[in-house]
Amino acid sequence: MKKTSAFIFAAILCFTFSYQAAQAGNRTPAKGESFPDIALVMPDKPSDKDYLGLKGKNTFKLSQVNADVVILEVFSMYCPYCQREAPLVNQLYDMINKRMDIKNRVKIIGIGAGNTPFEVGIFRNQYNIQFPLVPDESFAVHKAVGEVRTPHFFVVKINTDGSNSIIYSKVGSIQDPNQFLDMIVQDSGLK
Amino acid sequence: MISTRLLSLRTLIVVAVIFFTAAISYGASEQFKGKIYNPGVLKAIDSKTKLKKGMKAPDFNLPFLSGEKISLKQFLGKKNVVLSFVPAAWTPVCSDQWPGYNIAKSFFDQNNAVLLGITVDNIPTLYAWTKEMGDLWFPVLSDFWPHGAVAKKYGVLRSGGVTERALFVIDKKGIIRYIDVHDINSRPNLEVLIKELEKLEK
């Protein structure tokens, strides 16, 4: 009995510490670092797939997106800040689409932390969002980026070898979409 | 001796479970940064409701932000009703639950339903907290005094004086059609609620 309890105690301690270590390992990647090479849920809409240059089902990775720069917004339909931010991100999307020099090179993806496809759909309809929003129902992506508060914006430059480097990683509003886009064009070396 | 050991073993397992679940995510909004009190992981459910599907929903008459009162019976024969009890203002999951409902009004409208939020907080607290969420289209009722009386009637008052995170769907006849006394630490899935609403007579 004594041995068994001691063994179970040791096992529990081990699990607890290794689990916490794993959690602590997932910190939020900063500017200059890489965005984790994690599976994202494949959008359902054919137009979203076309936009991202993706084929197939189930999941995709950032390196497969047909773009030089990807703007990732980690949001939640339940987050009032994200709701207020939605029109600004729509403006950003429109601005990019009007600029023929970068239209096909800069893409936006929204990742709905803890949201089901249905919940992501409500957000899309409410704000008439034209760029792809993908659900992250199990919080897998959210956890991989250190459980960021929402909205959190990552701007990721995709290198030709499939690797990537983050040029922007911040929680909160993008403020002025014009300036935000200028910063992206500048810092990613698109010009 | 053996029972003491068993007891300590049980304690250890409980501690381990708490460690494991402490990392539950809820996707906190930046909106409430620095304003949310984090109570940590709480006992999932801490009450037992005697209410069941098919029973008549207890009536109530509670004030909401405007100072006016709302009773359940005023919707009889007119509207389906969703009661959303949330534990307390300025707590983590709750602060990111109602803002979601706030952009899902059309689903309530389509099913001829009204949504009533209820907490045991007083009106000034509810005023400040819901203001942070933006303008809510649904009324938020204060079950502050006598403290948690309505929550108690519904069997969702926890031992610490806050309520469960609970949803009650009540049809136009005042009959309870769905109950979800949810794990207080996580947010109920919106589409489950909407599917329940869709089952009701409009």
B20 against B146, higher pLDDT: B146
CA distance B132 to B95: 9
For the range A89-94, what are the long-range contacts, defined as Cβ-Cβ under 8 Å and sequence gap of 24 or more?
A89/A129, A89/A131, A89/A174, A89/A177, A90/A127, A90/A128, A90/A129, A90/A130, A91/A177, A92/A174, A92/A177, A92/A180, A92/A181, A93/A129, A93/A130, A93/A131
Distance from the Cα of B25 to chain A's closest Cα (Å) equals 7
Give the CB-side neighbour count of residue B109, counting CA atoms within 13 A. Answer: 7
Cβ contacts from A onto B, under 8 A:
103
Q: What is the pLDDT of residue B38?
A: 84
Residue A138 has pLDDT above 50, yes or no: yes
Query: In this structure, is residue B5 part of a structural domain?
Result: no
**Eight-state DSSP code of residue A61:** -
Q: What is the pLDDT of residue B123?
A: 96
Query: In this structure, is residue B3 part of a structural domain?
Result: no
Domains of chain A: 29-188 (3.40.30.10)
| CB-closest option in B5, B12, B96 to A76 | B96
Q: Sort out which chain A residues have CB atoms less than 8 A from B102's CB and list them.
A: 80, 83
B191·A147 Cβ contact <8 A: no
Query: A163 pLDDT band (50/70/90 cuts)?
Result: very high
Output the average pLDDT for chain B. Answer: 88
Q: What is the pLDDT of residue B31?
A: 77
Number of folded domains that form chain B: 1
Structure tokens at B166: 């609970």
Q: What is the pLDDT of residue B4?
A: 53
Containing B71, the helix (H) or strand (E) segment is: strand B69-71
Query: B19 pLDDT band (50/70/90 cuts)?
Result: very low
**Eight-state DSSP code of residue B173:** T
A150 against B33, higher pLDDT: A150
- Indicate the range of A71-80, B86-95, B108-117 predicted with least confidence: B86-95
Q: Which residue of B has its CA nearest to A120?
A: B100
Query: In this structure, is residue B39 part of a structural domain?
Result: no
A119 touches chain B (CB under 8 A): yes
Question: Could you tell me the CATH number of the domain that includes residue B179?
Answer: 3.40.30.10
CA distance B112 to A97: 40
The values of phi and psi at residue A90, to 5°, are -60, -40
Rounded (10°) angle between helices B190-198 and A117-127: 80
Per-residue pLDDT averaged across B44-53, rounded? 94
Q: Sort out which chain A residues have CB atoms less than 8 A from B16's CB and list them.
A: 12, 15-16
Query: In this structure, is residue B24 part of a structural domain?
Result: no
Nearest to B16, CA basis, from A11, A143, A4, A5 = A11
Q: What is the pLDDT of residue A9?
A: 47
B12·A9 Cβ contact <8 A: yes
Q: Sort out which chain B residues have CB atoms less than 8 A from A121's CB and list them.
A: none
Per-residue pLDDT averaged across A77-82, rounded? 94
Distance from the Cα of A148 to chain B's closest Cα (Å) equals 7
Q: What is the pLDDT of residue A128?
A: 98
| CB-closest option in B2, B25, B99 to A139 | B25
> Which one of B94, B133, B150, B181 is the catalytic residue?
B94
Contact between A48 and A93 under an 8 Å Cβ cutoff? The reply is no
Structure tokens at A86: 């939605």
Contact between A80 and B133 under an 8 Å Cβ cutoff? The reply is yes
A187 touches chain B (CB under 8 A): no
Per DSSP, what are the bridge partners of residue A156?
A70, A166
Q: What is the pLDDT of residue A25?
A: 55
Residue B13 has pLDDT above 60, yes or no: no
Establish whether the linkage from the previous residue to A29 is cis, with ω within 30° of 0: no
Q: What is the pLDDT of residue A10?
A: 47
Q: What is the pLDDT of residue A26?
A: 84
A65 touches chain B (CB under 8 A): no
Between strands A152-158 and A69-75, the pairing is antiparallel
Q: What is the pLDDT of residue A23?
A: 46
Query: B193 pLDDT band (50/70/90 cuts)?
Result: very high
For the segment B112-155, what is each residue's pLDDT rounded down to a tens digit? 999 999 999 999 999 999 998 888 999 999 999 999 999 999 99
Q: What is the pLDDT of residue B39?
A: 84
Q: What is the pLDDT of residue B8?
A: 60
Distance from the Cα of B200 to chain A's closest Cα (Å) equals 20
Per-residue pLDDT averaged across B27-48, rounded? 84
Give the SS3 label for residue A151.
Answer: coil
| CB-closest option in A9, A16, A79 to B19 | A16
What residues make up the domain containing B84? 45-198
Contact between B23 and B40 under an 8 Å Cβ cutoff? The reply is no
A153 touches chain B (CB under 8 A): no
Residue B24 has pLDDT above 60, yes or no: no
Residue A4 has pLDDT above 60, yes or no: no
A138 touches chain B (CB under 8 A): no
**Can B94 be counted among the known catalytic residues?**
yes
A26 touches chain B (CB under 8 A): no
A83 touches chain B (CB under 8 A): yes
| CB-closest option in B8, B20, B31 to A81 | B31
A143·B102 Cβ contact <8 A: no
A84 touches chain B (CB under 8 A): yes
Q: What is the pLDDT of residue A14?
A: 41
